Structure 1
Amino acid sequence: MHHHDLSAWQHDHTFEQDQVRTGERRICIVVVLTLVTMLIEIVAGLLYGSIALLADGLHMGSHATALGIAAFAYAYARRHAHDDRFSFGTGKVNALGGFAGAVLLAGFALYMGIESVARFVNPVAIVFDKAIAVAVIGLFVNGISAWILGGGEHHHEHHHAGHAGHWHTDHNRRSAYFHVLADALTSLLAIVALLAGKYLGWQWMDPAMGLVGTVLVTRWSWGLLRDSSQVLLDRQVQTLDQDIRGILESGTSDRISDLHIWSIGPGIYAGIIALVSDKPEPPHVYRSKLEVRLPELVHTTIEVEPCTDIGHVSAA
């Protein structure tokens, strides 16, 4: 056996995860903004007796935590993108970060729920004017954050198909954007609750909005737990199955006998495909068919078995 140079047949497992994503810098700015506002809202909520404000602060805090983890996940994934010990690159660091953030949040939500119920039983005097002012500041910061995360890209870079595509596959940035919108909603609810308390004397509105905040955070953390755990556990991704079968089976006698596709990072997938064929081709032929049509399938292992005539085998 000659010593062959294998470099032509090998590829790295980086899959562009060493690049700085467009979302990363924006997320870092938003994290700082959100953390500062969150602290102000939580302190104000405790000082001025408003659970709606506290809920808004915790809701922002929950998202700042998640965004912070997202920012860390970006940086970690980038730093270790060339590390061979990660079988399929570092794309899953995102999912791991999301999972950890979701667990934290479930705890926050529980605390908030208990606190809100307690306020129904023992109402606290609320310093309305100051609480309303802080809630308005919160809403303003969320508006700026949403503009930073969602803006810019859409206006200038829409002609790059890649960027438009990134917006949909960069889960970190998209979820960050939706967090900020959800935060704006709780800020709005807090303002409504405080105004109703101040002008209509409806003190119960404040803990009621605390409960609404609790429900929002709980729902969000449950969704994140579900999605991130599926990625972490290599759950099969069914979305590409039809396409792959179409590309490899149509117009040929080849049949797919085994197909596994799973997510290995935001918007990128790995696959193991076994084919049975009357006229087997080398694996690279099948791989190049897939690469042309499905660029998001970045790592495929293909094995091809010749289709033997069963009758002859049993006769032998």
Structure 2
Amino acid sequence: MNNFYGAPFNADHDHVFLGAGHEKNERKTWAVIALCTAMMLVEIIGGNLFGSLALVADGLHMSTHAGAMLIAALAYTYARKHANDRRFVFGTGKLGDLAGFTSAIILAMIALLIGYEAVSRFLSPVPIHFSEAIPIAVVGLAVNIASAWLLSGADHGHDHGHSHGHAEGGEHDDHDEEMQRIVTSVGVFQLSIFEDGVPPVFRFVSEGKSSLLSPSDVTVTTVRADGSRQVFDFVQKAGFLESTDEIPEPHGFQVVVSTHSGEQTVEFAEHDHDHGVDSRDHNMRAAYIHVIADAAVSVMAIVGLLLAQAFGWLWMDPLAGIVGALVIANWSYGLIRQTGAILVDASADARIEGKIKAVIDEVGDKLVDLHVWRLGPGHLGAVISVATLEPKRTSQFYHQHLAQFKGLSHLTVEVHSGAEV
């Protein structure tokens, strides 16, 4: 007969799944709004005072720029203020993705409008007031550069996966705890786990002026908590030795290193960080893309206007508009796909799903069902169903084993005890 244990290990945990830089990004977004609003007022008031329709038009354009930023800022503020609101079952972490999706739709509409206007000007060219248009485009570019600077330092969408150990040629990354020093009679060596864009493997690198050992001189044996052992042989690479087999997850085990000097035992612990969990802030990313898109359009507009003025190529202005529209549309499409997938709870991280399965397999149980989804930047939720022949194993047992995955912020475990594995 099956017993079911579905309650989380800690029933009193919070549901705050905001990104690490949430408040900082919020302040930066409001600062950009203040800059755009000030510029908007200067251009509209100045245009009316000096009779410049182009200046007024650019001021109105700046108002749409401020409006797009306002979506991001309000999402940040609302998500922060309601982070502990029980009405949001899984917190407010995905409000940023909703705001990013909305901004991406607006960007797509802007791309269509720019493209429509550019095609219209191809078909029906209009006279260009270069003395007004060029300075306004330069001012717009300056505002966008200032806005990008204000938003700088935030997470604009770099996918921070993790790699253990060493890059090509033996240069180690910031994860020094994933490197173990091996002292032999012929020198000191570094043993590391490397998985930067490749399946995880061991690398054996000489330290300092030590001569590199041959593959036949090194054997590595992993010893896991359940007593299972796996032997790894090595092959020669450019400046280092690399194991011929990949290392199964998880990467927490003792390692027995055998060389001609004897055996040494070192220990590798599973990394204490997000394990590649997507920490991108799509709200900030949308705001940043809006700024960069506007800057790109300004640059192309300036180039087009200067060429049109110098050589009489009036077609350069609408051509620059079409190129700008295509660039914005491409950025918008990518952002819509990514944020849309999050909003409909598409499978968030196949890699961590594999890690969870590896942990369950390692303790000798069977993973019956698994659902992983994104709760917010750097936060994943998971519901797992496990079949075990061990009657004393409750959800607490699996919570403890899966606690190593720091990006797994909300975990619910259903245990079928006494079930056939």
Q: TM-score range by the shorter chain?
A: 0.7 to 0.9
Instruction: State the distance in 2 between where 1:209 and 1:278 align.
Output: 67
Residue equivalent to 1:69: 71
Distance 1:149 1:167 in 2: 20
Equivalent position amino acid for 1:195 in 2? L
Cα distance in structure 1, aligned partners of 2:289 and 2:112:
22
Task: Select which of 227, 232, 250 maps to 2:338.
Answer: 227
Quickly say closer, same or farther: Cα 1:209–1:189, change in 2 above 3 A. Answer: same
Counterpart in the other structure of 1:282:
394
C-alpha displacement of 1:74:
0.8
TM-fit CA distance, 1:228:
2.0
Is 1:14 the counterpart of 2:126 in the alignment? Answer: no
How does 1:141-220 map onto structure 2 within 5 Å? 141-151=143-153, 168-220=279-331
Letter in 1 for 2:367: I
Greater shift, 181-190 or 130-139, is seen at 181-190
Greater Rg, structure 1 or structure 2? 2
Matched, 1:132 2:143: no
How far apart, CA to CA, are the structure 2 residues paired with 1:196 and 1:48?
19
1:299 to 391, 404, 410: 410
Aligned mates of 1:167, 1:26 — CA distance in 2: 22
Q: Answer yes or no: is the 8 Å Cα contact 1:37–1:57 preserved in 2.
A: no
SS at match of 1:235: coil
Deviations 1:7-61 (A, max 9, x none): 96422222357995211101111133245557849x98x9459xxx97x985x76
Alignment of 1:259 onto 2:379: no
Give 1 or 2: higher helix fraction: 1
1:111-158: CA deviations, max 9, x gaps?
A: 2222211111211111112211111112222222222221499xxxxx
Supply the distance in 1 between the matched residues of 2:370 and 2:22 (Cα, whole angstroms): 32
Q: In structure 2, do the counterparts of structure 1 residues 17 and 267 end up closer, same or farther at CA, with 3 Å as the change threshold? A: closer
Whose strand fraction is larger, Structure 1's or Structure 2's? 2
Which ranges in structure 2 are unaligned for 5 or more consecutive residues? 1-7, 156-173, 175-271
Distance 2:125 2:401 in 1: 67
Helix, strand or coil at the partner of 1:301: strand
Cα 1:290–1:38 change in 2 (3 A) is farther
Counterpart for residue 78 of structure 1 = 80
Residues 18 and 376, structure 2, Cα contact 8 Å, conserved in 1: no
Decide whether the 8 Å contact of 1:186 with 1:213 is kept in 2.
Answer: yes
- Cα distance in 1 for partners of 2:79, 2:126 equals 46
Q: Deviations over 1:257-277 (max 9, x none)?
A: 111000122221111011112
**Residue in structure 1 matched with residue 220 of structure 2 by the alignment:** none
1:108 CA drift (Å): 2.8
Give 1:300 shift.
0.7
- Displacement, 1:227? 1.9
Provide the rounded CA distance (Å) in 2 between the counterparts of 1:152 and 1:196. 36
One-letter code aligned to 1:240: I
Other structure's SS at 1:258 match:
strand
| Structure 1 residues 18 and 218, CA gap change in structure 2 (3 angstroms) | closer
Aligned partners of 1:302 and 1:247: how far apart in 2?
A: 14
Is the partner of 1:86 in helix, strand or coil? coil
SS in 1 for 2:16: coil
Alpha-carbon distance in 2 for matches of 1:299, 1:221: 31
Q: 1:94-121 CA distances to partner (integer Å, 9 max, x unpaired)?
A: 1222222233333333222222111112
CA 1:288 to 1:21, structure 2 compared with 1: closer, same or farther past 3 Å?
A: farther
* Separation (CA, whole Å) in 1 of partners of 2:111 and 2:285: 22
- Find the aligned partners of 1:308 and 1:8 in 2 and give their Cα distance: 25
Partner of 1:98: helix, strand, or coil?
A: helix
Q: TM-score, normalised by structure 2?
A: 0.60
Q: How big is the alpha-carbon RMSD for the aligned residues of Structure 1 and Structure 2?
A: 3.5
Aligned-partner Cα distance in 2 for 1:167–1:274: 24
With over 3 angstroms needed to count, the CA separation of the structure-2 counterparts of 1:128 and 1:112, relative to structure 1, is: same
- Paired residues of 2:16 and 2:84 also in contact (CA < 8 A): yes
Task: Detail structure 1 runs of 4+ shifted over 4 Å in the superposition.
Answer: 16-20, 35-41, 60-64, 165-168
The 1:66–1:258 alpha-carbon spacing in structure 2 relative to 1, beyond 3 Å, is farther
Distance 1:64 1:230 in 2: 27
CA separation of 1:301/1:119 partners in 2, compared to 1, >3 Å: closer, same or farther? same
Check conservation: 2:289, 2:331, Cα contact below 8 A.
Answer: no
